[in-house]
């Protein structure tokens, strides 16, 4: 792989992709458990989620890069901030990803209900305005709330809905632990970036909470995911399979609670993503078995 291709692949931030893949897997399992699975719709939902995630990552690269907030960041180099790509090229790439998400999302809305656009449009806006625009909400400690909603609850419930064409309490309950784990990806990412974000005037929730408070938030979210799983188990006992992912929490938890800073937190981000993906796969398996 050429250095340019590697830079663009890193710019897509593949370690964050569990945040888009896991909710769709779980939502599809909910649909299967409720006898409503439609595979081609599930695949389109996955395409929407991944395109939105990658587009959001490139949009963040562009917006943070032109503001200069990525000049001294720790972790993989950003395309714009490191001068590896022209800002306009990164922006066009982000817009193309958003366009794919919008077109495929429109197809799903047409075959289900146009009311789906009432969720899809805000999701696209949230992806851009996280760091884009003149008043990005990601700079005002609102990123975690947006991720909880648009990369946790909405994709799980939405994926189940486009297949069953009905809202589901099971989907809502399943979305909560997934959402908490997705938010933890952002929390550990922003924990790593506290020094550079604070210096750049980027007031993330991590900057406001401080180092100790952010580490505590990470632990609280893991505990909330566990509590949410217990609630799902009450509805579908086979969902207890998801608890097998708990040992994977040890690696990132050890780094976060142990006070790791800088580059080691890149590993915590990676391991949190692996935890989320493993959790999602196991929960998917449990929900599937519950329908057999």
User: What integer pLDDT is reported at residue 189 of this predicted model?
Assistant: 93
Which pairs from 265-270 meet CB under 8 Å and 24+ separation? Answer: 265/74, 265/188, 265/191, 265/192, 266/74, 266/75, 266/76, 266/192, 268/188, 268/192, 269/15, 269/75, 269/185, 269/188, 269/189, 269/192, 270/15
User: What integer pLDDT is reported at residue 3 of this predicted model?
Assistant: 67
Least Cα distance to 106 among 168, 47, 65 occurs for 47
Instruction: Provide DSSP, 17-82.
Output: THHHHHHHHHHHHHHHHTT---HHHHHHHHHHHHHHHHHHHHHHHHHHHHHTTTTT-SSSPPTTTT
CA separation for the pair 69, 100 (Å, rounded): 28
Assigned CATH topology for domain 3-290: Farnesyl Diphosphate Synthase (1.10.600)
**Hey, where are the domains in the chain?**
3-290
Whether the model clears a pTM of 0.75, i.e. scores above it, the answer is yes
Tell which phi-psi region holds residue 262, choosing left (phi > 0), alpha (psi between -120 and 50) or beta: left
Sequence-ordered list of residues with C-beta below 8 angstroms from that of 130, at least 6 positions apart, any chain: 56, 59, 60, 136, 137, 138, 143, 146
Q: Are 127 and 56 in contact (CB under 8 A)?
A: yes
CA separation for the pair 1, 14 (Å, rounded): 16
Q: Are 130 and 138 in contact (CB under 8 A)?
A: yes
Classify residue 200 by its DSSP letter: T
The full length of the chain comes to: 292
User: What integer pLDDT is reported at residue 70 of this predicted model?
Assistant: 61
Termini Cα distance of the chain: 44
Retrieve residue 256's tokens. 């976060």
Helix H segments across the chain? 3-11, 18-33, 39-67, 87-111, 117-129, 143-148, 154-164, 169-192, 194-199, 205-235, 250-257, 264-290
Q: How big is the CA angle at 200 (ends 198 and 204), to the nearest 5 degrees?
A: 50
Cα 154 to Cα 64, 74, 117, 118, 164, distances in angstroms:
26, 31, 12, 12, 15
Retrieve residue 34's tokens. 């409720």
At 109, phi and psi to the nearest 5? -65, -40
- With residue 203 as reference, give the H or E element that holds it: none
pLDDT (tens digit, 0 to 9) for every residue of the chain, 292 residues total?
Answer: 676 788 898 888 888 888 899 999 999 999 999 988 999 999 999 999 999 999 999 999 999 888 877 665 566 677 888 888 899 999 999 999 999 999 999 999 999 999 999 999 999 999 999 989 889 999 999 999 999 999 999 999 999 999 999 999 999 999 999 999 999 999 999 999 999 889 888 899 999 999 999 999 999 999 999 999 999 999 999 999 999 999 999 999 999 999 999 989 999 999 999 999 999 999 999 999 998 7
Classify residue 138 by its DSSP letter: G
């Amino acid at each position: 792989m050429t250095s340019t291709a590697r830079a663009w692949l890193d710019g897509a931030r593949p370690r964050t992709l569990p945040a888009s893949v896991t909710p769709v897997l779980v939502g599809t399992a909910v649909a299967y458990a409720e006898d409503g699975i439609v595979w081609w719709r599930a695949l389109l939902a996955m395409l929407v989620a991944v395109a939105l995630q990658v587009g959001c990552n490139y949009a963040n690269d562009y917006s943070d890069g032109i503001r200069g907030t990525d000049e001294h960041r720790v972790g993989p180099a950003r395309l714009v901030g490191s001068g590896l790509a022209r800002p306009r090229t990164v922006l066009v790439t982000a817009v193309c990803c958003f366009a794919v998400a919008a077109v495929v999302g429109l197809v799903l809305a047409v075959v289900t209900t146009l009311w789906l656009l009432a969720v899809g449009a805000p999701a696209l806006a949230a992806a851009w305005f996280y760091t884009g625009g003149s008043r990005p909400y990601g700079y005002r400690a609102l990123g975690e709330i947006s991720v909880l909603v648009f990369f946790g609850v909405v994709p799980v419930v939405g994926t189940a809905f486009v297949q069953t064409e009905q809202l589901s309490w099971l989907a809502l309950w399943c979305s909560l632990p997934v959402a908490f784990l997705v938010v933890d990806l952002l929390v550990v990412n922003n924990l790593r970036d506290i020094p550079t974000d604070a210096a750049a005037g980027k007031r993330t929730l991590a900057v406001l909470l401080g180092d100790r408070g952010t580490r505590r938030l990470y632990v609280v979210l893991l505990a909330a995911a566990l509590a949410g799983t217990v609630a799902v188990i009450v509805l579908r006992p086979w969902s207890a399979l998801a608890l097998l992912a708990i040992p994977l929490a040890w690696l990132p938890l050890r780094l976060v609670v142990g006070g790791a800073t800088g580059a080691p937190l890149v590993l915590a981000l990676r391991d949190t993503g692996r935890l989320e993906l493993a959790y999602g796969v196991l929960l998917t398996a449990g929900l599937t078995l519950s329908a057999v």
